[in-house]
Amino acid sequence: MTRNIKLKIEYDGTDFSGWQKQPKLRTVQGEIEDKLKRILQEKITLIGSGRTDVGVHALEQVANFKTESELNLTSMHRGLNSLLPEDIFVKDVEEVDSDFNSRYGAKSRVYRYRICLGKNIFMRRYSWEVPYCLDLSKIKKTTKIILGRQDFTSFCVSKSAKPDNHCFIFRAGWKKDGKRLDFEIEADRFLHTMVRSLVGTLIDAGRGYFSLKDFINILKAKDHKKAGLTAPAKGLYLVKVNY
């Protein structure tokens, strides 16, 4: 009998060429599929909730796969974590309904972007070090503009594969803790590099490069060339996928 297995995965994306399997490149999907093949003795195709880019991390990526194996979940879980490299960890293994699809069943995804306000040698691989003086109140005020359903073409490096570039932002906000500044955003979908482009442009607004009106015009322009800089991948984390 075919079983549908759901995984919750965390990984340090620093040394990966993203999530999606690619020939001759080290990817998260490729590593996990390889280890599953060894454990289950069959070819496995892993479906991820979404693709994370080169250098992007995950606190809880979700993926699923179909298998004919009768191996119990505990053995599967232990086997995976014993074979996987240190920068991937499977948090949970669960058998789910046959129609569950980690990508198409997702209702929303949550991303977090981490900034260090100044130099931090311990977080340099996992955050964007921003030495500039920022107007956080202006950043927060500007962030409110992106809420709701809007066209985010201006914050997409390449065109989305879907018919349009509209996304619904459920929430987006900033939290400061000492020298750490976190941006968290939840939406029904995200375009390629959208979060990083939004963060970079919002930081530019906080530096005084864009006014509130400028940001509104950037959003309306539907032209990525109008946006500010794109924040580096190392500060971005996939936090949760909601179903």
Residues 6+ apart with CB under 8 A from 24: none
Residue 167, SS3?
Answer: strand
Rounded to an integer, what distance in angstroms lies between the CA atom of residue 215 and that of residue 164? 21
Could you give all domains of the chain from N- to C-terminal order, each with its CATH number?
3-96 (3.30.70.580), 108-242 (3.30.70.660)
Whole-angstrom Cα distance, residue 96 to residue 109? 20
Measured CA distances, 207 to 22, 168, 231 (Å)? 38, 27, 14
Q: Strand ranges (DSSP E) for the chain?
A: 3-11, 47-48, 57-67, 88-96, 108-116, 128-129, 148-151, 166-177, 180-187, 236-242
12, 53, 87, 214: which is the annotated catalytic residue?
Answer: 53
Write the CB contacts of 78 (distance below 8 Å, at least 6 apart in sequence).
none
pLDDT at 164: 87
pLDDT of residue 201: 98
Residue 94 is predicted with a pLDDT of 98
Segment-wise mean pLDDT, segments of 10 residues, the chain, 243 residues: 97 96 95 97 96 96 97 98 98 98 97 96 94 96 98 82 85 96 97 96 97 96 94 98 98
pLDDT at position 160: 53
For the question of whether the overall pTM of this predicted structure is more than 0.75, the answer is yes
Place of tokens 């972007």: 113
Give the whole-angstrom CA distance, residue 145 versus residue 202.
11
H-helix or E-strand containing 198?
A: helix 194-206
Residue 217 has a pLDDT of: 97
**53 catalytic residue (yes or no):** yes
**Beta strand pairing status for 3-11 and 88-96?**
antiparallel
Residues in the chain: 243
Cα 40 to Cα 30, 91, 167, 226, distances in angstroms: 15, 19, 38, 50
Q: Look at residue 157 in the predicted model and tell me its pLDDT.
A: 82
Burial of 237 (0-12, 13-18, 19+ CB in 10 A): buried
Q: Are 75 and 34 in contact (CB under 8 A)?
A: no
